[in-house]
Structure 1
């Protein structure tokens, strides 16, 4: 018998990760339009989205794009790649993250940015939640369990270790409501996911508090 409740929850999880990935992608009319559509459909199911829905209704692509450039590109006020928050060499991190993607047939495109970027790691978990929902729908219980365990491990080894650090820095380095709200939403969602998987990822030992905006790079 299909577990319809579990299927629906994984579809919901996929949408939440999709919202966060799109929100932290390079802003365009297309990405903001898709964001508004998903958020408007979903906020009643997850009230922390309500504030973001309100912000989305008021912002323009140009203003969000300008702030995105300042935060993540021009001065890198808020590094958006996992490797920037690690004390170890970045190569093994990139290798491990990419291995997760390849193991589950996620095609990584170099023009989408570094594989350890926040948007790619969020997009991967959106994809995995969809993959688990599909496996459950088809009655492929072993595949569903494998996908579940992989998400749990990815949070423990990667996103769960630096996502909150990134979110805190994002909120510290911006005054724009769009990114302030996204930072808050990311923290709330990660806590919910930790509870869902019954895990407590060990935070990375660095939060970049003393780095100037020019000192951190996030590129391949």
Structure 2
């Protein structure tokens, strides 16, 4: 089944994956970037209710059930509780988890922190991505790495008729997953699962574990299937 361009081939399953993946990266990025405000939780609850896009996975369904299950009378209390949990997990000197790749990999595998940050920043620059860091975020923060993937996923979808640009974007995402996100995000997610009792953050951790390797597999499979005329 040929779609989007006469040179690029997609199955119906791959089209659904292409339309879903940016949405998932945005979901993960939004909740792992800062303490969630009521507006953020309300926004994603509405998106989940209106769009049947949540992955049919354990983490995806946990998040869906949790967001849809927050009653109006409990909404404000739940939002404050989740914001406090974010601060406990990720903020300050007593944070439970390291949320930057260089710090995490330096601790777990002895990786060179400066080299890691430099490589991540170069990937952003090479792909023309400049982030507006309002709170001094580091390039290798989990949220910025996820946002990088979201931006490239959305750009790949928007450049559906520019076959070589689309293939180049796929190659960049494969490399970033292999060289960076999948080198630490699954272990980060495993630690997050152990560190929290929050169904929100447990769902995010499970979704992170499930989605990243699946997305890489889909990217590789689709990239290998392309035969340009």
Q: What band does the TM-score fall into relative to the shorter chain?
A: 0.7 to 0.9
> Residue 25 and residue 148 in structure 1: after superposition, are their counterparts in 2 closer, same or farther (change >3 A)?
same
> Residue 111 and residue 197 in structure 1: after superposition, are their counterparts in 2 closer, same or farther (change >3 A)?
same
Give, in angstroms, the shift of residue 45 of structure 1.
5.6
Q: Is the 8 A contact 1:44 1:50 kept in 2?
A: no
Q: TM-score, normalised by structure 2?
A: 0.78
For these two proteins, the number of residue pairs brought into alignment is 197
Structure-2 residue corresponding to 1:47: 56
> Residue 41 and residue 154 in structure 1: after superposition, are their counterparts in 2 closer, same or farther (change >3 A)?
farther
Q: Is the 8 A contact 2:26 2:146 kept in 1?
A: yes
* 1:62 and 2:64 are equivalent in the alignment: no
1:75-127 deviation per Cα after TM superposition (whole angstroms, max 9, x unaligned) = 21011110112222322211111112222222222325111111111111111
1:47-82 deviation per Cα after TM superposition (whole angstroms, max 9, x unaligned) = 232320221242622111100000001321011110
Structure 1 unmatched runs, 5+: 200-220
Superposition map of 1:46-195 within 5 A:
46-48=55-57, 49-57=60-68, 58=70, 60-74=78-92, 75-86=94-105, 87-112=110-135, 113-136=137-160, 139-195=161-217
Structure-2 residue corresponding to 1:218: none
> Residue 25 and residue 40 in structure 1: after superposition, are their counterparts in 2 closer, same or farther (change >3 A)?
farther
Q: Distance in 2 between matches of 1:193 and 1:44?
A: 15
Structure 1 residue runs of 4+, over 4 Å off?
A: 3-8, 42-45
Q: What RMSD in Å do the two structures reach over aligned CA positions?
A: 2.1
Larger Rg: 2
Q: Distance in 1 between matches of 2:26 and 2:97?
A: 21
Give, in angstroms, the shift of residue 40 of structure 1.
2.7
Give, in angstroms, the shift of residue 7 of structure 1.
5.3
Structure-2 residue corresponding to 1:202: none
Q: Is the 8 A contact 1:72 1:78 kept in 2?
A: yes
Bigger mean CA offset, 18-27 vs 87-96:
87-96
SS in 2 for 1:24: helix
Q: Is the 8 A contact 1:171 1:183 kept in 2?
A: yes
Give, in angstroms, the shift of residue 25 of structure 1.
2.1
Structure-2 residue corresponding to 1:205: none
Q: Is the 8 A contact 1:14 1:129 kept in 2?
A: yes
Q: Is the 8 A contact 1:43 1:53 kept in 2?
A: no
Structure 2 unmatched runs, 5+: 222-229
